A and B are shown apart, each in its own frame.
Chain A
Amino acid sequence: MTATAIALAVAWTTEEIKVAGSSVRLRSAGRGAPLLVLHHDIGTPEQLPLYESLARRFTVLLPSHPGYDGSERPAWMRGVRDVAVTYQALLAARGVAEASILGLGFGGWIAAEMATMAPRGFRRIVLVGAMGLKPSTGEILDQALVSYIEYVRAGFADQSAFERQFGADPSTPQLEQWDLNREMTFRIAWKPYMYNPTLPHLLAGVPTPTLVVWGREDRIVPPGCAEQYARALPAARVVQLDGAGHFVDMEQPDTLAKLVAQFVTES
């Protein structure tokens, strides 16, 4: 390994933290202001270029949602707000104050719920293609009706980006992981599917500056939801990205990392 590579490598630690009735697997890395990163409903690969970039600017806290990616399943959980409460307890247990939060897709929904629970609890919020609101037009793509591969592919504007990440023909262990994550998603977000009808009302109480990022080619959550979030949140603005789908984090990691770093660090 060259000196440069050593300097660039980010050291990640993994912990199991007992909190609020769950055992949360938390990976963390980096230095600086705390940034809680919440992954998609499909789970997350162990590492992504986005995470590496963010860890150079922030102390990144990257939990696996309880029951996802092989983490212990809390059989009692029944809703996305249960996950949000769990993460609030996690931050409290770690003594993290003034964190910023980056919510990706389904993780964006969890982030929005967390914000409604502690309206002054976050420094900045970034929501990317966030679920959680009932779209005014169109519907959130229902993964119950499509195969694992179809669903994930639908989240990429650029299919070569999908193939770079998962291969043209994802492995059977990958499919099993998606099935496991899908099962957990069903357990907590089956009906109404991928939104909470009370959320838009509660968001009105969140004064936190929020950046709403959306891929213009998001085929999982209709891009019109960006404006719905911006209307519901008192201090939100929208950035739409060309050539990106739902998984902006995997398609345009550099662009997203820059947007996050700039928005979160600006005063």
Chain B
Amino acid sequence: MHLMYFTEQPMSAYPEDEGRKRGATALMFSNRHFDPVAGSRLYNEYIEHYRLAEEVGFDGIMLNEHHNAPFCMQAKCNVFASILAAITRRVKIVLLGNPLPLADNPVRLAEELAMIDMVSRGRLVSGFVRGGGQEQLATGVNPAFNRERFEEAHELIVRAWTQQGPFRFEGTHYQHRVVNPWAVPLQKPHPRVWIPGVLSKETIIWAARQRYPYIALSTAIDATKKIWELYDSVAAEAGYTGGPENRGYLQRCHVAETEEKALANARQFMWMQGEFTGLAHPVWSSPSGYFSPSYRKAFVEYAVGRGSNPRAASFEDQIRDQQIIAGTPKTVLPKFRRLLEETRPSILGLWASDGFVSNQDATTCIRLLGQEVLPAVREMGKELGLWSPFEANSPVSITQPAPAVHRNGA
């Protein structure tokens, strides 16, 4: 198994009452409420959490990015990836990921990622995402061409990594006179690409066609199984058999010394889901053209309050469905066993704390996970044959072989 540590890097030091007053805490929630002194403190706390995660035995650190919202302080995951490349020694740096459509120059992304891969001595996993709906608005990128830009930027980046330059690229959305970056990845054929997602069938199908592992983000167990059914059927069409090495699962998991404390802190996972401060305006999270037409009816109804959020569930439901796991190290292990037995992922991300969880509790959680949860989960993985892409040395993609040199064993 490949076990990753994850935090959204919540910007918890903002006046909550202002968020409640505004009714939304994304995109247009004024950054006058952003306190850079607290921001500086939090960034540095998160860096310490990452160091600790490596120290206690995580195999990877998962990073992401969002814009204009307190729920995630990372505006650029490549910045933290660069920091981790220098301050960590062993963990994979797993970007899930760079939002490709937001890039006006994907070649620059290819360069940054190559630099991170070299500085980290080949520890980069370069995931790509479409970016949330409001991300398109925050960066002024046309949501109607989101998927086209995603696929075209991906093609350009992989070519920039694998094809010797200079070459010219004339796409629909990207045109480059000269592609010839003087920074190429250390890992060959290129860094592994994993694709995270929540909702879009199109993304699952695309990932399966590329033979990229798909990372289900906090989906319920039954929904996750349906994702694998779809992925495996596309894999069969593409000529390979889907298995654990193609499957990742990010799940929220908070552990503490007592059940009560774990549950109280786990409730913070809801902090940006309406329970505490409210979500973004629905038309921001699903601007026209961003979602596939099959969701149009559901989203217009949601946008005017006529339908429920297709992505929201209550805390109690999420605990029941194991979208949130909380407890002491001892009580969470059977839940992990169920999760692993039923969904059989080889990549498991643990989103450990969120919201207003104190630095001390967040630190304790990482320590307990490392000392008491990870070793047991690793044994379960072995018993169930959940070999990660690194352990299985699986092909990097449908067109690219497995790496010739197997650098990090984890």
Point out residues on A near B: beta carbons under 8 Å.
144-149, 172, 175-176, 178-180, 182-183, 185-187, 190-191
Count how many pairs of residues, one from A and one from B, have CB atoms less than 8 Å apart in the complex. 59
B71 within 8 A of A: no
A144 CA / B141 CA spacing, docked (Å): 11
**Can you list the 7 inter-chain pairs with the closest CB atoms, starting with the nearest?**
A175-B300, A183-B289, A182-B288, A183-B288, A190-B142, A186-B144, A187-B144
Rounded to whole angstroms, the CA-CA distance of A183 and B288 in the bound complex is 5
B212 within 8 A of A: no
Given contacts A145-B283, A146-B283, A175-B303, 7 further A-B contacts (CB under 8 A): A172-B297, A172-B306, A176-B297, A179-B300, A182-B288, A186-B288, A187-B289
Q: Which A residues are CB-close (under 8 A) to B282?
A: 147
Within 8 A of A (CB), among B259-284: 281-284
| Residues A145 and B288 in contact, CB atoms below 8 Å apart | no
State whether A179 touches B142 (Cβ < 8 A). no
Q: Is B15 an interface residue (CB 8 A)?
A: no
A149: chain B residues at CB < 8 Å are: 304
Cα–Cα distance between A64 and B328 once the two chains are bound (Å): 62
From B143, B281, B297, B300, A186 is in contact (CB under 8 Å) with B143
B240 interface contact, C-beta 8 A:
no
The docked-state distance in angstroms from the alpha carbon of A178 to that of B303 is 12
Chain B: minimal CB distance from A18 (Å) = 24
User: Given A179-B288, A182-B288, A186-B143, do A148 and B303 touch, yes or no (CB 8 Å)?
Assistant: yes
Given A186-B142, A186-B143, A187-B289, A179-B281 contact (CB < 8 Å): no
Digitize B23-44: 1 where CB-to-A-CB distance is under 8 Å, 0 elsewhere.
Answer: 0000110000000000000000
Given A172, A180, A185, which contacts B301 in the complex, CB threshold below 8 Å? A172
Residues from chain A with a CB closer than 8 A to the CB of B303 are: 147-148, 175
- B residues near A148, Cβ cutoff 8 Å: 283, 300, 303-304
**In the bound complex, what is the Cα–Cα distance between A20 and B290 (angstroms)?**
27
The complex places the Cα of A179 from the Cα of B282 at a distance, in Å, of 13
Q: Which residue of A lies closest to B284 (CB)?
A: A145
Q: Among B282, B297, B301, B304, which residue has the most Cβ atoms of chain A within 10 A?
A: B304
Q: Does B228 contact A (CB under 8 A)?
A: no
Question: Which of B282, B283, B301 has the most chain A CB within a 10 Å cutoff?
Answer: B283
Cβ-defined contact, B28 with A176, below 8 A: no
Q: Which residue from chain A places its CB closest to the CB of B299 in the assembled complex? A: A179
B300 touches A176 (CB 8 A): yes
B137 is an interface residue with CB less than 8 A from chain A: yes
A175 to B300, CA, bound (A): 6
- Alpha-carbon distance between A185 and B145 when the two chains are bound, in angstroms: 12
Expressed in whole angstroms, the Cα–Cα distance for A179 and B304 within the complex equals: 12
Q: Which of B287, B297, B299 contacts A144 (CB 8 A)?
A: B287
Beta-carbon contact of B297 and A187 below 8 Å: no
CA distance A72 to B392 in the complex (A): 48
A172 & B300 in contact (Cβ 8 Å cutoff): yes
A147/B301 in contact, CB under 8 A: no
Chain B min CB distance to A111 (Å) = 24
CB nearest neighbor in A for B136: A144
Q: How far is the CA of A90 from the CA of B283 in the complex (A)?
A: 35
A189 to B297 Cα, complex, angstroms: 23
Bound CA–CA A199/B243 (angstroms): 57
| Alpha-carbon gap, A148 to B284, bound state (A) | 12
Q: Does B296 contact A (CB under 8 A)?
A: yes
Tell me whether A190 and B144 are in contact in the complex, defined as CB-CB below 8 angstroms, given that A144-B287, A179-B288 are known contacts: yes
Query: Contacts A172-B297, A172-B306 known; A186 to B289 CB distance under 8 Å?
Result: yes
Q: State whether the Cβ of B409 lies closer than 8 Å to any Cβ in chain A.
A: no
Minimal Cβ-Cβ distance residue in A for B305: A147
Asked whether B310 is an interface residue with its Cβ less than 8 Å from the other chain, the reply is no
Contacts of A179 in B (CB 8 A): 288, 296, 299-300
Q: Which of B139-186 contact A (CB under 8 A)?
A: 140, 142-145
In angstroms, Cα B143 to Cα A179, docked, is 13
Q: What is the distance, in angstroms, from B101's C-beta to the closest C-beta of chain A? A: 13
